[in-house]
């Protein structure tokens, strides 16, 4: 059996095709992981497009790379990669999403999109780029802007705190943008609906099969206790946030306060 879930493997990226041995991935311990793609500097978010290609953002190269796997029929697969978005000068560093024929990617201040056909496996014409959201606060603090779409086509954009652990206006939030196809672009970030507030730095966002949104929130650094000293290495741990779009599921909808109030983890 070949590798069926490449998203669970370690991605590092390349620009050439090569063969790797197939590995059985167990569903019970011991689990198996293998190097899948080497040499993409600091890969961040990944998504699987509708044709089965894996799209990966690079934190240092301002690129989106497509990864394609071909079964050789002899116990190996050939893995080929290709840069499909060359964001030179844009500072793309984290977020990626696909919806309605467009590929979305983000830098600290802006969300962009390009027309994209899943499986095309070719460099996208940069002249087709559109600016979707602009004016995201970027002074100090966390610079990644995580992106996710729900089934209704609403775009969710996460922005982390400006400082380590101090809430600040317009930060530590997830904003939601509606009807992107019916608005004049670009949309000011301040026009988004505050969907959740108090999420310190939600670097992972994803919907499950029931269209329920979950987030992975990064805990604060530099925490100290008088009895044991530094505790930021393992306490508090990074949390999985439950982010229902149905506000009836919360006593105080959308209020997180760094996972203390009304947050289901």
Instruction: Give tens-digit pLDDT for 28-44.
Output: 777 777 888 988 889 99
The pLDDT-based confidence of 7 (bands split at 50, 70, 90) is very low
pLDDT value for 210: 85
* Domain annotation covers residue 80: no
81 domain-assigned: no
> pLDDT by residue (tens digit) across 130-144?
999 999 988 778 889
The total number of structural domains that make up the chain: 1
Residue % of the chain over a pLDDT of 70? 72
pTM metric for this prediction: 0.80
For the chain, the average pLDDT equals: 79
Q: What is the DSSP string of 135-185?
A: ----SSS-----EEE-TT--EEEEE--SSSS---TT-SEEEEE--GGGSPS
Structural domain contains residue 95: no
Residue 162: give the domain boundaries.
135-265
Has residue 67 been placed in a domain?
A: no
In a domain, 86, yes or no: no
Q: Taking 70 as the threshold, does the pLDDT of residue 197 lie above it?
A: yes
Whether the bond between 250 and the residue before it is cis, its omega within 30 degrees of 0, is no
Q: 70: Cβ–Cβ under 8 A, 6 or more apart, which residues?
A: 77, 78, 79, 80
pLDDT digits (tens, 9 = 90+) for 60-92: 899 999 999 999 999 888 999 999 999 999 999
Mean of the pLDDT values across residues 179-184? 80
């Amino acid at each position: 059996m070949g590798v069926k879930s490449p998203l669970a493997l370690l991605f590092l990226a390349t620009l050439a095709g090569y063969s790797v041995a197939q590995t059985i991935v167990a569903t019970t311990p011991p689990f198996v992981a293998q190097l899948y793609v080497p040499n993409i500097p600091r890969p961040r978010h990944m998504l699987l497009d509708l044709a089965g290609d894996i799209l990966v953002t690079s934190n240092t190269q301002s690129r989106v790379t497509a990864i394609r796997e071909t079964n050789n029929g002899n116990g190996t697969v050939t893995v080929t990669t290709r840069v499909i978005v060359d964001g030179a000068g844009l500072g793309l560093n984290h977020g990626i999403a696909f919806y309605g024929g467009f590929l979305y990617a983000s830098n600290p201040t802006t969300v962009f999109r390009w027309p994209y056909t899943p499986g095309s496996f070719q460099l996208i014409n940069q002249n087709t780029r559109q600016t979707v959201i602009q004016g995201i606060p970027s002074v100090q603090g966390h610079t990644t802007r995580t992106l996710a779409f729900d089934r209704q086509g609403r775009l969710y954009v996460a922005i982390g705190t400006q400082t380590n652990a101090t809430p600040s206006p317009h930060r530590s939030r997830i904003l939601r943008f509606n009807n992107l196809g019916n608005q004049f672009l670009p949309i000011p970030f301040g026009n988004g609906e505050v969907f959740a507030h108090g999420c310190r730095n939600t670097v992972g966002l994803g919907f499950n099969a029931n269209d329920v949104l979950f987030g992975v929130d990064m805990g604060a650094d530099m925490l100290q206790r008088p009895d044991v000293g530094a505790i930021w290495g393992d306490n508090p741990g990074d949390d999985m946030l439950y982010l229902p779009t149905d506000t009836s599921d919360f006593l105080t909808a959308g209020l997180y306060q760094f996972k203390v109030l009304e947050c289901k983890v």
